[in-house]
A and B are shown apart, each in its own frame.
Chain A
Amino acid sequence: MRNIEKHVLVVDDYNTMRRILRNLLSQIGFSNVEEAEDGSTGLRKLRERPFGLVISDWNMAPMSGLEFLKEVRSDGALKDMPFIMITAESKTENVVAAKEAGVSNYIVKPFNADTLKKKIEAVLGEL
């Protein structure tokens, strides 16, 4: 398993979900994974240090994943950040809204490790 240097930020209000994603990312080869429990904390972390990928839930409070994404895209220093939305919200209008806001890819919960890897590769290139 290769060690991928890129730092990944996992944003989800459920500790269980963050833990699962951290573990799966570790299996893929990402050894530098940081966590945030909502969009505003995630935004603060993104502004503190460089990251190579954001994986974010949608349904969070006070700042939702979509708001978080919009903030990222409107920030000159972060606007090109690879951003994957991973959520149980799977209605067409959700996907459309996320796409319009500039999401890089979209994973619907529940998901499996293979899907996660494929979507990351679709965004970052082959791992």
Chain B
Amino acid sequence: MSSQRRLELSEEEYLDIEEALASNARGRSFLRMRDQRARAVAMNEMRKLAREMRDTVRDTVKANSEGSGEKRDEAHIRILREELREMSAYIHQTRREIAALRPSDAGSNRIMAATGELDAIVSATERATSEILNGVERIQQLTLKLPKTSEVAPVVEEIQAQVTEVLTACSFQDITGQRTTKVVNTLRYLEQRVNSMIEIWGVEGVTPAAPPPEPEDRRPDAHLLNGPAADGGPSQADVDALFEKLGKATEAAPAAPAAPTAAAPAAPAESPGEKSSQSQIDAMFNAAQ
């Protein structure tokens, strides 16, 4: 027997470690992978159990049908079959509903996307707060260089008081960060539960139930409104480069068509997908006025 005992964590210790891991994006990724692996094991056990139940029922039915053949047993078997058929229908419907919860690909998982957005909010507010603090500290340093005359001193004092107000107001980042982390943890819990249901019910190949109608964004540019890009999105430099490239492309294009008259609707002359030059856009604006 091994002299080393396996360290057992208390429930509280386990939850503390899980909470610590869940407090940042990398830790959450680790937990997500761990859950996936654990679910794969649980799913295999579930399938094994289902196979054993199926074999037991089949053996029982077979034994009964090979037995005395009495009418009473046949009636029981008929009822059993009917019950099993109904159960099967319920299970089938449930599996279809659960299959509808499963994202078509990892990138479209809405819960993961939501936690990613919240992580991005925390990072963005942290960066912004840090920049505000840089500015505040710079102002503090500059006020120290001002002359301490009777005219300037009260102004400096007021600036310093206002700077302190800004400084303490920046503590919002800590509070919003904590609140956001709570929401992220709740979303993660929901994600775990949904994924567990999906794996336990083995919905591979099941046709998903029709999804409920989504709230529709009727704005004409809804397809363009995706919110701020996550980390790794195009930088200002990327956009500048693209803008410049587009500018060169339109300069090389044929001259703009004549501007539509004021009576005519100011519609672009190009087919969808083509770029308008600035002069074309200006012409459209002028015509619309």
Contacts and interface: CB of A to CB of B under 8 A. Distances in A.
Contacts of B165: 112
Contacts of B136: 23
B175 A61 contact: no
Interface string A1-31: 0000000000010111101100110010000
Nearest to B137: A23
Contacts of B168: 20, 24, 110-113
B175 A110 contact: yes
A97 to B, nearest CB: 15
A109 B167 contact: no
Contacts of B175: 88, 109-110
B178 A16 contact: no
Given A61-B16, A61-B19, A62-B16, A20 B167 contact: yes
Interface string A76-91: 0000000000001000
B171 A111 contact: yes
Interface of B: 16-17, 19-20, 23, 126, 129-130, 133, 136-137, 140, 160, 164-165, 167-175, 177-178
A59 interface: yes
B174 A12 contact: yes
A111 B17 CA distance: 29
Contacts, number: 61
Nearest to A23: B167
B166 to A, nearest CB: 10
Given A24-B168, A27-B164, A62-B16, A16 B23 contact: no
A16 B16 contact: no
Nearest to A61: B20
A71 to B, nearest CB: 15
A20 B19 CA distance: 26
A27 B175 CA distance: 23
B164 A16 contact: no
Nearest to A88: B175
22 contacts: A14-B174, A15-B130, A16-B129, A16-B170, A16-B173, A17-B171, A17-B173, A19-B130, A19-B133, A20-B133, A20-B167, A20-B171, A23-B140, A27-B160, A27-B164, A88-B175, A88-B178, A110-B168, A110-B171, A111-B168, A112-B165, A113-B168
B19 A14 contact: no
A59 B129 CA distance: 20
B174 A16 contact: yes
B178 A24 contact: no
Residue among B130, B133, B174 with the highest chain A CB neighbour number at 10 A:
B174
A109 B174 contact: yes
A24 B177 contact: no
Nearest to A64: B16
A19 B170 CA distance: 10
A26 to B, nearest CB: 9
A68 B174 CA distance: 20
A106 B165 CA distance: 21
Nearest to A13: B23
Nearest to B17: A62
A2 B180 CA distance: 40
A88 B19 CA distance: 18
A112 B171 CA distance: 10
Given A61-B16, A61-B19, 13 more contacts: A14-B174, A16-B171, A16-B173, A16-B174, A17-B171, A23-B136, A23-B140, A24-B164, A24-B168, A61-B20, A62-B17, A109-B174, A113-B164
